[in-house]
Structures are given as C-alpha cells and as structure tokens.
Amino acid sequence: MSQDVSRAKRNRILLGLLPLLIFSALVGAMGYQLLFGKDPSLIPSALIGEPVPKVELEALKQDKPGFGPADFGPNAGNDQPILVNVFASWCVPCRAEHPIISALAREENIPVYGLNSKDKREAALEWLNELGDPYTRIGYDPTGRAGIEWGVYGYPETFLISPKGEVVYKYVGPISPRVLKEEFLPRIEALRAK
Amino acid sequence: MKKLCLSILLFSAFLMTTTPGFAVLPDEVLSDPKLETRAREISKDIRCLVCQNQSIDDSNADLARDLRIIVRERLTAGDSNQEVKDYLVARYGDYVLLTPPLNLETIFLWGGPFLLVVFGMGVIVLWYRSRAPGSAAATQEGSLSPDLSASERQRLAELMAEAPQSEPNKGGDK
C-alpha cells in the first residue's frame, strides 16, 4: 500500500515537471534554429542544376553587349565559371556589394554578367559611371520579366554558372566579404578544378 | 430593437461575404470574367516571394503584381490552371505554392497531424488500459488478479457453481 502511495506521488511529480520539460525542449529547438539554423526566408533557387533560363537580354550600354543562353556554356567558347549579378540603381544593398563584385571580377578574373532589372536606363548608366563598371556583359530588363525567368525575388541576387552553362548556386542579398570567402570562392575553385 | 439587431447582423454578413481585392489593380483585371475568376483562384494559391506569408492576390508588392500579370497572360494564352502553376514552380520552386505538393520533402508536413492524432489515441488507449481491471495498477488495489494458479482457478469455478444463478431481489434490498 505504501508502495502505491509513493508511486502515485512520483507520477504527480513527473506530471508537474512536464511543462518544464516541454518548455526546455522548445527553448532548445528554437535556440538551435536561431544560432545554427538557416534563414527560412531564403528560398533555394529552383534553377540549381538546370541550364540557364532561355531569355535574351538587350544591351544596357551601347558599347557592351547584353546576354542570352548562347553566352554561357562551351558553345560560347567559354571554359570559365561565370557570375550573373542582378542589380538596379535604386537598390541600396547593390551599392554595398558593388566593391566586392568589382574586386571579384578583377582579382579572380571571372566574367561577371550584370542583369539590370526594373531600372531606368539613364539611372543605371549614371550608377555605373559613378561606381565603376565591373561587368563583362550587361543585360537590360526594364520590365523585370527576365528577372522572373531567372527566379529573382530580391535585389541583389548573384548566380554562379558552371562552364557547362548550368546554374550551380544562387545567393540572395548583398555579397559580404564573409559570403565571398565562404560561399563563392570555394565553389569557383571547385568549378575550376574540374 | 429587433430591427436594429437584424440590420447589424445583415451588415456584418455583408462584410463577411464581400472580400474586395485591394491588391488587384483595375488595369490588371481581365475583360473575360471567367478567366478573371480563374486568375483570382490561382493567385490565391501563389505565394508572394517578397512578403512570403501573403498570396500574390493579397500582396501589394511589385513582384506580386508582376506575377499576377503573368498568371493572366498565361491564362489568356490558353494555359490550364495547372500549367500556369507549373510555369511558376519551374522558376521559383514548390515554395511558390501556398499548398505544397505531397512529396518526400513535405511528407512530414502533410502526415504530421495524422501522426499526432495516432500518437494521442495511443496515449489514451494506454491510459485506459492501465486503469482497467486486471492491469497491474488495479491488481494492487485488490481486485481481480489475472495470475491465478491452476488450483485457485478450480476453486473459483467451484464457488461460482455453488452461487445461485440469479438473485433478482438482492439489488433492491437494504
């Protein structure tokens, strides 16, 4: 009988501890997501592993061509990885990442195609005059339609395209020195080593 | 008073039935009402990728407007509802759908509620069984034990046989 009482008592204590246990589990799960988890607002690109979208972009500048699917891959006489950087003159983070894009094009000797989306031509040209133009080609997409073909939903976005002309990686947001070092450079090296 | 109540009721019912499309701008609306209805239906299931918890039908974001226009263009070009959705999924992935498709990645999302119900029912069943007569907990309180020896069983059968078959008046007596 006394065994019975102690058993009931133990059950009650366990029941009383249950909220604390659930709370700790929640704190654990949320803390993990906060510290180590991925940002849930970042949507992985649906184009990874796919060939570049079949969309022709007119030139932004008179002396620099736009680009289309034929400007990627082996048929374009290109054995290099290529970056496609979506930018607009009204986009403040684009301005922030501009020096890094420029350094990447200069120091890594990697072709960077600019995709000027939802912008006015004069504003874009002025922006490039002011900050410098690191791009090999610049496509002009005033309506944002080409951006949608590329699955763009935020500015800036940067795609890494393999020498075969397939989308390898996409980064949404401005490229910081850390993102450059941890995300882009290793992938570019891996593509070049192949 | 009754009249007032009725009119308030009617007015609130009216508010509930009309959900005006604040985000859809007049210049986007198709002239064919059938196509426009289908466009609205599709847009309600397409996520605005900028705001993420709004459909493009609700969202005022620039991209949402562009996607609404694309949905209407595809419909006018003769696409089925599914083809329009497939077009967007090809560019933005399954995430663009507010109703995710059932596949390996989403199996827990879809199956989770059912798993929880099964788990809860299991807990309830276990709970009742632990309280039912014959279980360990009940035995300790002195009721019927399942673990009778053969001789005990025999004795029990004898006692049951000796007892009167029916005692109709016993329950009523005090």
- β-pairing, A157-161 with A167-172? antiparallel
The ipTM value here is 0.78
The sheet carrying A137-141 orders its strands as A58-59, A137-141, A112-117, A82-87, A157-161, A167-172
Please tell me whether residues B29 and B62 are part of one structural domain: yes
- Please report whether residue B92 resides in a domain: yes
Domain extent, residue B127, equals 102-140
Residue B156 has pLDDT above 90, yes or no: no
Structural domains counted in chain B: 2
Q: What digits encode the pLDDT tens for the residues A152-187?
A: 998 999 999 999 999 999 999 999 999 999 999 999
- Please report whether residue B164 resides in a domain: no
> Is B49 in contact with A44 (Cβ distance < 8 A)?
no
Q: pTM for the complete prediction?
A: 0.72
Q: Hey, is the C-beta of B35 within 8 angstroms of any chain A C-beta?
A: no
| pLDDT at site A33 | 87
Residue B92 has pLDDT above 70, yes or no: yes
Q: What digits encode the pLDDT tens for the residues B130-150?
A: 887 665 555 554 445 567 788
| pLDDT at site B144 | 54
Q: Hey, is the C-beta of B66 within 8 angstroms of any chain A C-beta?
A: yes
Please tell me whether residues B74 and B118 are part of one structural domain: no
* Residue in A with minimal Cα distance to B93: A46
CA atoms within 13 A on the CB side of A136: 18
> Is A151 in contact with B93 (Cβ distance < 8 A)?
yes
> Which residue shows structure tokens 């807990």?
B123
| pLDDT at site B18 | 55
Which residues in chain A come in under a pLDDT of 70? Answer: 1-3
Confidence of residue B42 (pLDDT cuts 50, 70, 90): very high
Please tell me whether residues B63 and B131 are part of one structural domain: no
Whether A16 contacts A107, CB under 8 Å:
no
Please tell me whether residues B53 and B109 are part of one structural domain: no
